Amino acid sequence: MFSQAEENYIKTIYHLEALSSKGISTNAIAKKLDTKASSVTDMIKKLSEKEVVLYKKYQGVTLTEFGSKTAVSIIRKHRLWEVFLVNKLNFSWDEVHEVAEQLEHIKSPKLIDELDAFLDFPKRDPHGDPIPDKDGNLQIIEKSLLAQLKVGDRGICIGVDDSSSEFLQFLDKQGIALGKQIEILDKEPFDGSLQIKLNEKTISISNKIANNLYIQIAKD
């Protein structure tokens, strides 16, 4: 029903909507996809004709209910393929995103349902993001950015905001991974950098790193 380019737009609008309470501008979409605003306008017209998006001048673009379901289906495929690549083909978590970007456009619902069952219905991908089930339901876990925590707070690393290979490779060098225990030992008021206890090791990380790590806070 949709071309690969159309699916990329639908998924991008969905992710941008998660960060905004109002319609998404064509400029924001163009920036995210690294393309021209005129190209975005042309694509929005096509998607509007297919009843995937609504566009109102000065109010931006929003997905219809059908558009949101389509986006969630694409995201489900992407995240299931990431799990498959890591768990079954021994890819590292910094290698899977670009491959999954290609595999997410496979159309067969039966293949994806069988893949889900083969993987024993995983709830999260290798980066900690929730995987929608076949009905589009997501398991939501309460989480906070590490940068938002206070000295003395502790918890478990459960996700990343930046899934670029460069960032994930940096985390590997530091020994930071999903499931690791993290405790805030000190916070620098000047630049927000942190000294943390990572399991039994003490390391320093920048505010930029802390703004890309999700923590499930321990409750005493």
pTM: 0.88
Q: How far is CA 205 from CA 81, 86, 177, in A?
A: 31, 27, 14
Note whether 123 and 130 are within 8 A (CB): yes
Residue 197 has pLDDT above 70, yes or no: yes
Residue from 114, 110, 20, 159 nearest 167 by CA: 159
pLDDT one-digit tens code per residue, 179-193:
999 999 999 999 999
pLDDT at 199 over 90: no
Question: What pLDDT digit, counting tens, does each position of 7-43 carry?
Answer: 999 999 999 998 887 899 999 999 999 999 999 999 9
Measure the CA–CA gap between 109 and 73, rounded to whole angstroms: 9
Cα distance between residue 82 and residue 91, in whole Å: 9
Beta bridge partners, 205, equal: 194
Please say whether the beta carbons of 191 and 207 come within 8 A.
Answer: yes
pLDDT tens digits, 129-155: 999 999 999 888 889 999 999 999 999
d(CA 217, CA 183): 10
